[in-house]
Structure 1
Amino acid sequence: MKLYIGNLPFNTTEAEVREMLEQYGTLESFNWITDRDTGRPRGFCFAEMDNADADAAIKALNGKDLGGRNLKVNEARARNDRHKKRSW
């Protein structure tokens, strides 16, 4: 399952997030998102884990305080699924 990890403090490092996620299982992939112009972290990333491990990470980490910010951890959705048009 692919995870979205958001609302990360900007001073959090890639290594810290990887370590936090690896407590729940093996990372199959990890994508640290940075600003293309400045190279600074954008405050979110994506990770892929086994479904059971990903579910455990979501339950444990979603809403958890990290550096004064509440993490948002959930299953990543395709861009098309995020902005479905409403039919009024």
Structure 2
Amino acid sequence: MKTIYVGNINYQATEDDLRPVFAEYGEVISVKIINDRETGRSKGFGFVEMESGADTAIEELDGKDFQGRRLRVNEARPRAPRGE
């Protein structure tokens, strides 16, 4: 399983919009678009967990137009501890 970072997502896009885009390349386990805690509005990025096909999805979708914006797609890096 691999987690993919997806950036520059259209603010109106939903997790259901993204899922089939990634499902073309393999089995999607989960899709999560990150929202602002206070406003509930999309922050324009999210994460997709894939059981298979993640490397191909990264290669094919990075820079691809999705709902009028060019996606930034790469392998997610572990989050650095806060305060460092």
TM-score bin, normalised by smaller chain:
0.7 to 0.9
Q: Which amino acid aligns with 1:69?
A: R
Structure 1: which 5+ runs fail to align? none
Q: Is the 8 A contact 2:18 2:31 kept in 1?
A: no
Q: Percent identity?
A: 46
Q: How many pairs were matched up?
A: 80
Task: Give, in angstroms, the shift of residue 67 of structure 1.
Answer: 2.6
Partner of residue 77, structure 2: 77
The TM-score with structure 1 as length reference comes to 0.80
Partner of 1:46, secondary structure, is strand
User: Looking at CA atoms only, which structure, 1 or 2, has the larger radius of gyration?
Assistant: 1
> CA separation in 1, counterparts of 2:31 and 2:67?
21
In the alignment, the residues of structure 2 paired with residue 9 and residue 58 of structure 1 have an alpha-carbon distance, to the nearest angstrom, of 18
What is the alpha-carbon root mean square deviation over aligned residues? Answer: 1.6
TM-score by length of structure 2 reads 0.83
Alignment of 1:56-75 (within 5 A): 56-75=56-75
What is the deviation of 1:40?
Answer: 1.3
Q: How many Å apart are 1:24 and its aligned residue?
A: 1.2
| Aligned twin of 2:3 | 2
**Runs of 5+ in structure 2 lacking a partner?**
none
Q: Which has the higher helix share?
A: 1
Q: Name the residue aligned to 1:55.
A: 55
